[in-house]
Amino acid sequence: MMPDRTMPDFTQLIEQSLFAPVQAFLAENPEGVEEYEFLRHLDDLGVFQALDSDLSWSMLLFQKHFLLLHILYSISQQRVADKQGALQISPLSIKPLDYVEADTQIGEVDPLSGFYLTLENLTSATEESVSNLLNDFWVRYLKNEKRGDALKVLGLNDPVTDTEIVQRYRKLVSVHHPDKGGDKDDIQAINEAYAVLIRP
């Protein structure tokens, strides 16, 4: 039987240990900082000591990541409400946006904000759900990494819609299909590019 582990009080941890250091590090890095660097800084400060060190590496990393993003999205929401700007939040760049920069992005709702602002998504996470999230992340990451090359094959550039991709694909297939005198290698490259861009 597994020992009963007490879940830390995440709200208390955020308010007492994490919020101020996150705000301070943001202020120290107005040009932006990577999430990895941010987490390493917080680790060095020892603010994550309340987390269960017996958890798996992936579960512990997920908790740290979630707590950081929860605070960042909370700060961003408050900055927008106070007309101070917002935060750019991505793995490669976390930085404050001034009000003019933020104003152009305010209508664009970050689909991840709802997930990270709901602490229940942290408290209900299991090893299996975290493993699935990580797998989904890598599938999406690798797909995005190949997107630029796939668009080149179709003769397109971002920003482009799925509808435009489908239309371009159909046009290229009608021209390059071997039954219409096209080259087998060309049609294979077109099909592979389409699979990267459209198919799940």
Structural domains in the chain? Answer: 10-125 (no CATH), 140-197 (1.10.287.110)
Q: Residue 1: in which H helix or E strand, if any?
A: none
What local confidence, expressed as pLDDT, does residue 37 receive? 93
Mean pLDDT, the chain cut into blocks of 10 residues (200 residues total): 56 89 94 92 92 86 93 92 87 82 50 89 90 74 74 86 89 89 90 81
Supply the pLDDT for residue 109: 56
pLDDT given at position 29: 94
Residue 154: per-residue pLDDT: 93
d(C-alpha 32, C-alpha 89), whole Å: 10
153 neighbors 193 (Cβ within 8 angstroms): yes
Amino acid occupying residue 74: S
Cα–Cα distance between 9 and 124 in angstroms, integer?
13
Contact at 8 Å (CB) between 8 and 16? Answer: no
Q: What is the pLDDT, as a whole number, of residue 2?
A: 40
Query: Which DSSP category does 97 fall into?
Result: E
Token output for 184: 């087998």
Report residue 173 as tokens.
């297939």
Q: Which helix (H) or strand (E) holds 86?
A: strand 86-90
